[in-house]
Structure 1
Amino acid sequence: VKGLIEIPVIGSDEVFSWGVWVSLSRESFSRAAELWDTPGREAEEPYFGWLTTDLPVYPTATLNLKTHVHTRPVGERPFVELEPTDHPLAVEQRTGITLDRVREIAAAVLHSGDGERR
């Protein structure tokens, strides 16, 4: 499923979002698909998944980080919560990033041509 990793921007009410792909078990994916257009689906328990997007701005790969995918109201992308580890992406999701870091990420992504390494 495609979802958003949201990172708080320190000193702002804004968040920085990465659009990412997460692999769910067959059972979780079937359940998420079954509820995709169902109002109230956000009450569903989060689904465990594995991050399948490698983000280019981290010194170690982001592939296969453990996640919890939180369904949101119909029409909104799921929220992807990383398990709390010492990986820089997980640390940033927990502690936030500065506006300078947002600019650094934007420059790196623009320079690479897109937001995902394939």
Structure 2
Amino acid sequence: MDDIDLYGDLDFVDNKCVPSVKGDGKQEMDQGDNLNDIAILQDSHDKLEKENEKIIMELGQIKEQLARMTRVNKILKSNISSLYKTAKAELDRKNDRIAELTRQYDDLIFRRHQESIHR
């Protein structure tokens, strides 16, 4: 059987595969490029993992803030409703008092007018 060297077209330097140039002038991908790509991808992955963790923490904080704001909003709605009802009741009371005082004034004027007629 003929010995066929499957790796005969690859050049090795310090046990690392380096690119060889084929007869047509194209450079072959070597193991060093693959390791470099893996390192770049791993670095990108690590950065994205950290960014993801940061975003998850920010999301948690935003959810807590939303919950607080929702509670505050509910309290403020209740307070403004109570304030409106109080203001309306106070206006009604004032209007009733004005109407009563107007009747008393009209009665007083009517009596004076009646007394002046009878004299």
Q: TM-score range by the shorter chain?
A: under 0.3
More strand per residue: 1 or 2? 1
Larger relative contact order, structure 1 or 2 (CA cutoff 8 Å, min sep 6): 1
Give me the TM-score of the superposition, normalised by structure 2.
0.15
Give me the TM-score of the superposition, normalised by structure 1.
0.15
More helix per residue: 1 or 2? 2
